[in-house]
Amino acid sequence: MTRTVLITGGAGFIGAHLAAQLLEQGDRVRVLDSLHPQVHQGGERPDYLSHEVELVVGDVRDGDAVRKALVGVDRVAHLAARVGVGQSMYEISEYTSVNSVGTGVLLEALVDHPVERLVVASSMSVYGEGLYVDGSGEAAPSVDRRRSDLEAGRWEPVGAEGQALTPVPTPESKAPTLSSVYALGKYDQERLCLMFGSAYKVPTVALRFFNAYGPYQALSNPYTGVLAIFASRLLNGRPPLVFEDGEQKRDFVSVHDVARACSLALSAGEQADGEVLNVGSGESITVNQIAAELAGILGKQHIAPEVTGKFRVGDIRHCFADVSRAAQVLGYQPQVTLQQGMEELAAWLEGQVAVDGVDAATAELAARGLTV
């Protein structure tokens, strides 16, 4: 039986890839998206969104638009959100409104339009710092970095007694430490949806995405993923700007794997109900390494990254995913290696035009005391 799936925020790069996968497996797909100009220049329907997708242009905070989009829908993937740690720290009301209030509007509409399953996109940002262990291999209590240490260039977190700590893959059991407005909003989204699912008996899964990258990412949005930001700089013949010393570790996961995790969650059985699951590659790489690899793949080896020695309020040092729970519950296994994903990204970037807004965004953060 053919399902109709609604993807909120589905004109974005993750949503478009999910839509393509769902269409391929025979689903009907509808997208609700505001076509925000920071992501979609000119507010136009993106060329990469399949013509088979029904697009409803509207804001997730608009109850009438949401109810219209839900007509005839069987399952929902809630991806709509304002994205970006730095910008969230000064556009506080906008991020809170879209991410938290927008989710509330969707859930109120779902009270009157029950669906078979709800999947919500959360983020690795809810962890704050990832999991660390001390010299004896014991998990360290919740780790946070003090601004005074960052101002002194002491980037690595230390234990309560000043002991060295080692970052390890972060499981879902690690307690959240919300270090930005964006992180708080994503945590709101996942908790609201899981609470709603439990109360109204709607099977619900929250997926914590790590650093997704791939084709269709908004190159001209200076608050998008780091790979797209670096690519924008390199395509304009300018060095990627690297904060701190560039040795912070991240988990970069192909958008194809992220979309597949969403598809698996939309089709999962009762074993997934109420679960919070990491979606990453399960591998870590430093920001310096990823900048060098991207430059090499783009033939821009001569453009060395500019390591600024500055920091941004809300940034964390190390966080990479333990994906074993998603493997157990969803059968999720990352399939795209970093090399494969980077080569695909490079091929897509050929002929792309990127407006480099990084300098203006960095100046905005500095003017507000959010980067030092």
CATH numbers and ranges of domains, the chain: 4-367 (3.40.50.720)
CA distance 91 to 182: 10
Question: Which of 95, 127, 132, 182 is labelled catalytic?
Answer: 182
Nearest to 257 by CA among 229, 279, 235, 288: 279
Nearest to 70 by CA among 84, 60, 82, 85: 60
Identify the H or E element spanning 186: helix 181-200
**pLDDT class of 29 with cuts at 50, 70, 90:** very high
The pLDDT of residue 258 is 98
pLDDT tens digits, residue range 85-133? 888 888 999 999 999 999 999 999 999 999 999 999 999 999 999 999 9
Ranges 16-30, 87-101, 337-351, most confident: 16-30
**pTM for this prediction:** 0.93
Alpha-carbon distances, residue 142 vs 132, 248, 324 (angstroms): 9, 18, 21
CA distance 282 to 326: 11
- What is the mean pLDDT of the segment spanning 142-148? 86
- What is the mean pLDDT of the segment spanning 57-86? 96
The pLDDT of residue 107 is 98
Q: What is the DSSP string of 43-99?
A: GPPPTTS-TTSEEEE--TT-HHHHHHHHTT--EEEE------HHHHTTSHHHHHIII
Output 162 or 360, whichever has higher pLDDT. Answer: 162
The pLDDT of residue 369 is 59
- What is the mean pLDDT of the segment spanning 68-82? 97
DSSP state of 101: I
CA distance 316 to 294: 22
CA distance 114 to 361: 41
The pLDDT of residue 86 is 80
pLDDT tens digits, residue range 294-321? 999 888 989 999 999 999 877 899 999 9
Identify the H or E element spanning 257: helix 255-267
Q: To the nearest 10°, report the CA torsion of 290, 263, 319, 325.
A: -130
Ranges 1-5, 227-231, 345-349, most confident: 1-5
pLDDT tens digits, residue range 231-263? 878 888 889 999 999 999 999 999 999 999 999
Per-residue b or e along 77-108, where b marks 16 or more CB atoms closer than 10 Å to that residue's CB: bbbbbbbbbbbbbbbeeebbbbbbebbebbbe
**pLDDT class of 142 with cuts at 50, 70, 90:** confident
- Residue 182 known to be catalytic: yes
